[in-house]
Amino acid sequence: MTHVIRRSLTTKSLKKLTIGLIPADGIGREVIPAAQQILEALPTGADNPSFNFIYIDAGFEYFQKHGTALPEKTLDILKNECNGALFGAVSSPSHKVAGYSSPIVALRKHLDLYANVRPVKSVISDKDPSQKPVDILIVRENTECLYVKQERQLIDESTGLKVAWADRKISEYASKRCGKMAFEMALGRDKLRQSVPLEQRIWKSKPKVTIIHKSNVLSITDGLWRESVRSVKENEHKYDGVDMDEQIVDSMVYRLFREPQAFDVVVAPNLYGDIISDGAAALVGSLGVVPGANVGDNFVIGEPVHGSAPDIAGQNKANPIAAIRSAGLLLEHMGYSEQASKIYNAVDSVMRKGNILTPDLGGSSTTQQVTDAILKAL
């Protein structure tokens, strides 16, 4: 079953797709080539596209060599030559580095990729049928919140000690369009579920959107977020069939681990969405299996949820599944749902058997061995 994100971008009629590949840092250099292998193995002809790939630069390691993390040439290629892109991982340092800012955050802003879409779905292994069933779609606002990176540090005159400040931005405009995407996705997921027998579905109720906030404390910023997202449903009758509820972010985390089956589509501001989606990955085995897509109205970049994992980079241990599923999300957004389904089903088949898995999932297989198994399953 595909994830069905929302209406597709206007590329369905194209027979050849140009995909920008940005491995960036660490294991990005291993998992992006794996995703490329899977795309190249899809059937061509008839309604199936063929692919042209362009490798382009970005990342912290590129910054260390050239003084910029996102060269203008990369932006030009994405805007003028590519139909979509895949991004690997970035090694953003935890301390301030003069002149550096995250290239993926910059790409989201430059290309107006205003929603980060992260499906978290369990595949019950034949070897461990006790795993909790999970089928959650997390929609994270992608351009605002604390990620506007407006920080400053001052000296408190009364104590002589440092004080750091960060401005947080929440706008009605960004909140509403992210909320609208969440409701659209809820409708799309429900439409897909109708083709699956009720007993086989993880989510068996009406589609539901859960709004995450902390407006009991941040009454102005989170209050505006909450009101804006709620207004999407309240002002459009097309969403009458979608239930809506709310969760304070801390209680959301508690419920996420206690009863993940209580959630269908979750929509959250940037920071909360980032934390929740990483936490949710623990429910399905590993960050190495959770895909993502940075989505705008005119472009999409598939991006696995995991980071650059420098401790295992270059060792052929990285799990390629998140990147491969992200390639499926990329195709799905571009209107090629059938091709995306082939990728999802092949990955699920390998995970269900549980014989060929990377170390993060308790196996001993290499990145290439897992990729080869998925290629065989295709």
Write the DSSP string, 63-119: HHHHS-SS-HHHHHHHHHH-SEEEEEE----SS--TT---HHHHHHHHTT--EEEEE
Q: 3-state class of 71 per DSSP?
A: coil
pLDDT (0 to 100) of residue 124: 80
Structure tokens at 352: 């269900």
Note the pLDDT of residue 48: 87
Confidence class of residue 2 from pLDDT cuts 50, 70 and 90? very low
Query: Percentage of the chain surpassing pLDDT 70?
Result: 96
| pLDDT at 5 exceeding the cut of 70 | no
| pLDDT at residue number 214 | 97
Helix (H, G, I), strand (E, B) or coil at 212: strand
- pLDDT tens-digit series, residues 96-150: 888 998 999 999 999 999 999 999 999 887 777 777 789 999 999 999 999 888 8
CA-CA distance, 3 to 332, in Å (whole number)?
Answer: 8
CB atoms within 10 A of CB 198: 8
Pairing of strands 84-89, 16-24: parallel
**Range scoring the smallest mean pLDDT among 8-12, 67-71, 167-171, 298-302:** 8-12
pLDDT band at 13 (very low <50, low <70, confident <90, very high): low
* Global confidence as pTM: 0.89
- In the predicted structure, residue 46 carries a pLDDT above the cut 80: no
User: Domains, the chain, ranges and CATH?
Assistant: 15-113+291-377 (3.40.718.10), 135-283 (3.40.718.10)
Distance CA 169, CA 213 (A): 14
- Exposed (0-12), middle (13-18) or buried (19+): which is 110, by Cβ within 10 Å? middle
DSSP 128: B
User: Residue 194: pLDDT above 90?
Assistant: no
H/E element holding 258?
Answer: helix 249-258
Per-residue pLDDT at 9: 59
SS (H, E, C) 139-200: EEECCCEEEEEEEEEEECCCCCCEEEEEEEECCHHHHHHHHHHHHHHHHHHHHHHCCCCHHH
